[in-house]
Amino acid sequence: MSIDQQKKILIINTGGTIAMVHEDGNPLNPLKPGKWDQIVKNYPVLSTMNIDTSIHTFDPLLDSSNISVANWKQMAEVISDKYDEYDGFVILHGTDTMCYTASALSFMLEHLGKPVILTGSQLPLANPRSDALENFVTALSIAAGIDLNDGTSLLSVPEVCVYFRGKLLRGNRSRKLSSSAYSGFESPNYPPLGLVGEHISLDARLVRGRDPEEFFANTELVANIMVLDIFPSLSPDVIKRIAVGSESDDEKIKALVLKTYGAGNAPNNEAFLSAIEFIVNEGVLVVDVTQCPQGMVEIGLYDASAQLLDKGVISGLDLTPESALCKLMWLFGMGWDTEQVKKQMQLDQRGEQSLNIFNIDYKNGTASPTFDGQALIPGEVEFDKLESAILQIQGARFINPLTKSKELGLRVYMNYQNLQQDTDTSIIQYAGTSVKHVDIKDQPSSLFLDVTNSVKKFFTKGRPGRIGIVSNDAEGISWEKLNLALYVGV
C-alpha cells in the first residue's frame, strides 16, 4: 500500500492511564499525564504501522474521573472539525468514565459514517506488563479498516465503539465491570461487534449500517439529570428533595434514572410511591433501569413495578445506566419538552436498546358493563418484529364499591363490533381475561393482559385498533388510563 493510499486516523489523546507516566520516572511516584512523544519513544512499532496518524492532545490532559459535559463537547467538536480530513478516529481515554463518554458521543455524533473507537488501558503504556499497546494498535487497525497483522481489509464500523482486550463493543452498550482485570469491559445485553485474536473478526450482522445523511455534531446537552440507586430503607424525603432542588427552574433536575431491583422492582409502600408521584408531578421524567449488570426492565411483570407505571415511571428496557443518563442529556438538549423526551426515550436511537416501545393511549372510560374504544396504530410499528403487546389498565376500580365481588376483572376483545355483556369467549376476537383480587374495593388497581397474538392477528399499522372490554361486575368498572404497549424489536 503506497503512502497516498494510507488511511488517515486522528488520535485524540484526552489522557487517562494509557497516557500516564510516573513522576520523575520513578515507579514509586504517583502517576500523572505524560506527553505522547515521551510515552511512545520506546515503541518503534507505533512509527512503522501502515497508517497515516496525527494526534490531537487535550491541554490539560485529563484523569477520566474529571471528565465533564464540556469535555464531551470538546471531543465532538474536534471530530466535527476534522471529520472530512480523516478516515477514522481513536480516542485515548481513562477507563473509569469511558462508557459514559462512549454513550454521550454515540448520541452527539449525528449521522456518523466513520469509526470512532475509544480505548485505554488498566496499566500505563510505559509499564512492562501493560495492556495498552495491544488495545491501542488494535483500535487503530479497526478505525483504519486494516488488519495490521496481514494487511487485509476490515469491515467498516461507522459507530462509536469501545475496544478493550480482544473485544469491540458498541459504545452505548459497554460497561466497566472490573477495576483491574485486563478484560475489564463488557456489553452485557448485546454481543461484541468483533472479537480479536490472531486476526480481527467483525460481525456484519451486528454493526450498524452507514448513515447516508450528512454528518454533524449536536453538542447541546442538558446536565440536570440524576441517577439514584434504590436500596432498602431509602428515605422518600430524599427523593422529594431531589425534585425540589433549587428555587431556580434552570437548576432543577429534568430527569431521574432510577436504578431498581431485578426486572424493575421497587418498594410499593405508600410513602415511596407518593414520593415518586410527587417528583413526576413536579415535571421530573423518571426512567426505570435495572441495577443488575445484565437483563431488562419489565414493568408490570411484578406488582412492585406495576405501581411505578401507575405513577408515571417509564421503562428503560435494557439501557445501561450510563447510556440512559447520556440519552436523557441529549434529548433534553434538543429543547424538547418532557412528553416529547418521554416518547423518544422509549425508541431506539443508536442501537442502545433492544426494543422500541410504542404506547397507544385509549380514552379513559368505564365498562358499565362494556366499553368500545379505538386508537390509531402508528405507521412505524413493524409487526413482523413485534415481540409482545401488553394491555395496561391503570387506576381500575369498581363503579359501585359496595359490590359483593372482590374480584376486579374484565374480558378483552379485539376488533369486535357487537360487544355485549354476554359475548362468548369462544369467538376468535376474544383476547383474554384479566382478574385481580382486591381487599379494599374503592382502591385503584392495575390490570395487565398479554394480547400479543390478538394484536398480530387483528391490528394493522396505520389503521385504528379497536379494543372492547367487558366488566365481570354488572355495575361495571372505571379506570384512569387504558394503554396498549407494543414492544417491537429494532
* pLDDT string in tens for the chain (490-residue length): 344 478 999 999 998 888 777 666 666 677 666 666 766 766 777 777 889 999 999 988 888 999 999 999 999 999 999 999 999 999 999 999 999 999 999 999 999 999 999 999 988 877 778 898 899 999 999 999 999 888 899 999 999 999 999 999 999 999 999 988 888 899 999 999 999 998 999 999 999 998 889 999 999 999 999 999 999 999 999 999 888 766 666 678 999 999 999 999 999 899 999 999 999 999 999 999 999 999 999 886 666 677 898 899 999 999 999 999 999 999 999 999 999 999 999 999 999 999 999 999 998 789 999 999 999 999 999 999 999 999 999 889 988 887 667 888 999 999 999 899 999 999 999 999 999 888 777 788 889 999 999 999 999 999 999 999 999 888 899 999 999 999 999 9
Count of other CB atoms within 10 angstroms of residue 294: 11
For residue 279, tell me if it sits in a domain. yes
**Closest by Cα among 302, 299, 328, 304 to 315:** 299
CA pair distance 1, 370, nearest whole angstrom: 75
Q: Are residues 85 and 102 in the same domain?
A: yes
Q: Are residues 448 and 367 in the same domain?
A: yes
**pTM of this prediction?**
0.92
For residue 355, tell me if it sits in a domain. no
Phi, psi for 432 (deg, rounded to 5): 145, 175
Q: Are residues 75 and 40 in the same domain?
A: yes
Query: β-pairing, 255-260 with 31-33?
Result: unpaired
Q: Are residues 253 and 304 in the same domain?
A: yes
Q: Are residues 391 and 340 in the same domain?
A: no
Q: Are residues 410 and 275 in the same domain?
A: no
Catalytic residue numbers read: 17
For residue 242, tell me if it sits in a domain. yes
Q: Are residues 178 and 67 in the same domain?
A: yes
Q: For position 101, what pLDDT does the model report?
A: 98
Q: For position 151, what pLDDT does the model report?
A: 86
> Which residues span the domain enclosing 258?
225-350
Q: How far apart are the first and last CA of the chain?
A: 39
Specify the number of domains making up the chain.
Answer: 3
CATH number, domain containing residue 447: 2.60.120.230
Q: Are residues 192 and 308 in the same domain?
A: no
Q: Are 287 and 279 in contact (CB under 8 A)?
A: no
Domain final position from 198, 217, 236: 217
For residue 461, tell me if it sits in a domain. yes
Domain final position from 199, 217, 235: 217
For residue 338, tell me if it sits in a domain. yes
Q: Are residues 139 and 255 in the same domain?
A: no
CA pair distance 381, 486, nearest whole angstrom: 8
Q: For position 247, what pLDDT does the model report?
A: 62
Q: Are residues 329 and 346 in the same domain?
A: yes
Q: Are residues 275 and 371 in the same domain?
A: no
